[in-house]
Amino acid sequence: MTFRSGFACFVGRPNAGKSTLTNALIGSKVAITSSRPQTTRHAIRGIVHRDDAQLVLVDTPGLHKPRTLLGQRLNDLVRETYANVDVVGFCVPADEKVGPGDRFIAEELKALKTPVIAIVTKTDKADKQTIGEQLLAVSQLHDWAEVVPVSAVSDFQVALLADLLVQRLPTGPPLYPDGELTDEPEQVLVAELIREAALEGVRDELPHSIAVTIEEMNPRVDRPEDRPLLDIYATLYVERDSQKAIVLGSKGSRLKGVGTTARRQIEVLLGTPVYLDLHVAVAKDWQRDPKQLRKLGF
C-alpha cells in the first residue's frame, strides 16, 4: 500500500465554513468556529490520521479586502500558506450567491500551480436546486481539479472530500507522531477558545477587535497527583472603553459567562481541571498599530 502525507489548506471568504470543515475532517475541535466572520487569526494545523495517509490541514484566516494593518497581515499569512501546501480547498457556502469576495479569491487561485478543489460548503442550509445552481456558478469561475458539495454539519461527503485531498498528496512517510491532532502550542489553542467564547453572543456593535494573551499557564503546585489543577491567567484586549463595558457586561456578568464557557472547552481540550482567571484591558486601536500587533502575537 502506498502511504501519502502532505499539507492541504482551505481558503475562502470569511465565514465560508473552513474551520467547521477542518474540525469535521479531524473529528475534534482544533480550529475555533464562530457565527461571526474573521474568527480565525492563526494558521492552525489539524492532522487527519488514516491507514493510507496523513493529511495535515492548515486553517487560514478568510481572505478579504483589508482595511487595517492586521487585515493586511492576515492576507499575507493566507498567501504564504497556500504557496506551501500540496492541495488547496476553495470554500464557497451553498446558501449565499457567489459574490465579489469569492471572485477575488478565485482570481488569486488561478495563478497557483497547486491543484485546487472547489468545495461548496453548508449544503445542509440549502435545497437541491440552490445547491445545483451554486455548483454550476462555482464551476464557471475556473477549471478546478474537482468541484464537490459537502456539509460538515450533516457529515455529507466529508469522507469523499478527504479521499480527494489525499489523492493529491505526495507519497511519503507520516510527518507527525500517530495520535497527534495539532502542532499548535497549547497556549495558542487556549487563547483561541477564550476568544471564541468572548465573541459568541456579543451584540453586533462589538467589532472583531478582541485579542487574547495568556499571561500564565501552570499546574498548581500544592495539589495531590490524583487531583491536578491548571491555573490559567489571561487578558482580553479590546480597542475602546465602550467595548470593555460590553465584554464585562452588567456587574461583570458577561465576562463570568465567557469564563465558564471557555473553561469547559479548555478542560475538554487539555483533559484536566482548570482555574481560569480573565481580565479585560484596553489597547487603543491595536489593529492598526505595528508595535501592539507584535505584542499581541501578530
- Please report, for the chain, the start and end positions of each structural domain, with discontinuous segments joined by +: 4-167, 186-295
Report which listed range, 56-65, 83-92, 120-129, 169-178, is most confident: 120-129
Give 93's strand partners: 121
Give the angle 270-275-279 at the CA atoms, nearest 5°.
110
Question: Could you tell me the three cell numbers for 84?
Answer: 506551501
> β-pairing, 274-282 with 230-238?
parallel
If pLDDT is split at 50, 70 and 90, which confidence band does 184 have? low
What is residue 34's predicted lDDT score, i.e. its pLDDT? 45
Q: pTM (2 decimals)? A: 0.59
Report the share of the chain in percent with pLDDT over 90: 30
Classify each residue of 132-168 as buried b or exposed e, where b means 16 or more C-beta atoms within 10 Å of its C-beta: eebbeebeebeebebbbbbbbbeeebbeebbebbbeb
What is the rounded distance in angstroms from the CA atom of residue 287 to the CA atom of residue 276? 26
Bigger pLDDT: 177 or 280? 280
Of 36, 18, 41, 29, nearest to 211 (Cα)? Answer: 41
Tell me how long the chain is: 298
What is the rounded distance in angstroms from the CA atom of residue 298 to the CA atom of residue 230? 26
Of 12, 15, 61, nearest to 41 (Cα)? Answer: 61
Please name the fold of domain 186-295. GMP Synthetase; Chain A, domain 3 (3.30.300)
12 close to 18: Cβ distance less than 8 angstroms:
yes
Please tell me if the domain spanning 4-167 has the same topology as the one spanning 186-295. Answer: no
Please name the fold of domain 4-167. Rossmann fold (3.40.50)
Of 217, 212, 215, nearest to 236 (Cα)? Answer: 212
Which of 73-87, 201-215, 225-239 has the least mean pLDDT? Answer: 201-215
- What pLDDT, in 10s, does the model give residues 189-199? 788 888 888 88
What is the rounded distance in angstroms from the CA atom of residue 170 to the CA atom of residue 264? 39
Does the pLDDT of residue 108 top 50, yes or no? Answer: yes
